Chain A
């Protein structure tokens, strides 16, 4: 009873491949699927190094404020960055629920959870933009001090990643709506969910290293 038959919309009916006695999820059933997923893990590894460099820069420049605003003064609005953190954590959860729905072959729920994730992602980016605009109006721009350069580069790069992820996810939602859950769409959805969780991990470090460090210092 461990063989499930999938009919992919790209034609062939085939028996699920197995590994160590376990039937593999749909996204691993095509020839390219597992390769694409491995490739994406390696991309995430390189992206991790990119963020690592930005974190190192921020750490080193954190105290170089040139007589201007310090991190303690800048991050006094605890509710704002905590809200951003909770929103992103929740969106990470909802995108994992999307994968759960996909593996139960529930197209409606899969699309529903992806839409919830996109909405949460948009509200995260909105909050972050509001925060940046607020800083800008107070004169805390990127060119004010080395600390602010490091801050805007690190948090801004993360924000760009999230914005890109939103566009990417919307395009995948349209493809699922059009072609349903097949091996190709399953692989695409699994990869975007990996990307989304990765951004959540990076944010947890921004929350800890940038914002909380500012509060504690």
Chain B
């Protein structure tokens, strides 16, 4: 009989999942930093890749650290977050899009 733990399932002694998550988050951060310092691509291209790296970073945090898939029933929290992400994309994308008509400097 294995020892009962807080999550009732057999828990590993080494927090492998957490270590992998930490390593991935560091790699993603330094990849973004290295790309920013390298000055090898155009501004738009660099920003695009850096944003993709940031989105991957979110996935790492949600999956490896925040136990995103856990729930005691239907996963309503995922619906809530999805709506928020949709709003945020509309707000940020919409603001930038609308303001480019009004500003020479942007």
Interface residues, chain A, CB within 8 Å of chain B? Answer: 1-5, 16-19, 22-26, 28, 34, 37-38, 41-42, 44-46, 48-49, 51-53, 55-57, 59-60, 63-64, 78, 82, 85-86, 89-90, 92-93, 95-97, 99-100, 102-105, 181, 186, 190, 193-194, 197-198, 200-201, 204-205, 207-209, 212-213, 215-217
Contacts and interface: CB of A to CB of B under 8 A. Distances in A.
B42 to A, nearest CB: 10
Contact of A38 (B25, B50, B57, B76): B76
Contact of A42 (B66, B80, B105): B80
A184 B103 CA distance: 53
B72 to A, nearest CB: 4
A216 B103 CA distance: 21
A22 B5 contact: no
Nearest to A215: B36
Given A4-B8, A104-B11, A204-B57, A24 B72 contact: yes
Interface in B44-83: 46-47, 50-51, 53-54, 57-58, 61-62, 64-67, 70-73, 76-77, 80-81, 83
Given A17-B72, A60-B99, A104-B11, A53 B91 contact: yes
Tier of interface size on chain B: 35 or more
Contacts of A93: 18, 21-22, 25, 65
Given A38-B77, A89-B29, A208-B54, A4 B5 contact: yes
Contacts of B11: 100, 103-104
Contact of B32 (A105, A197, A207): A207
Contacts of A197: 61-62, 65-66
Contacts of A104: 5-6, 11
B6 A2 contact: no
A68 B87 CA distance: 33
Contacts of A207: 29, 32, 54
A13 to B, nearest CB: 13
A45 B84 contact: yes
B1 to A, nearest CB: 6
B37 A78 contact: yes
A92 B65 contact: yes
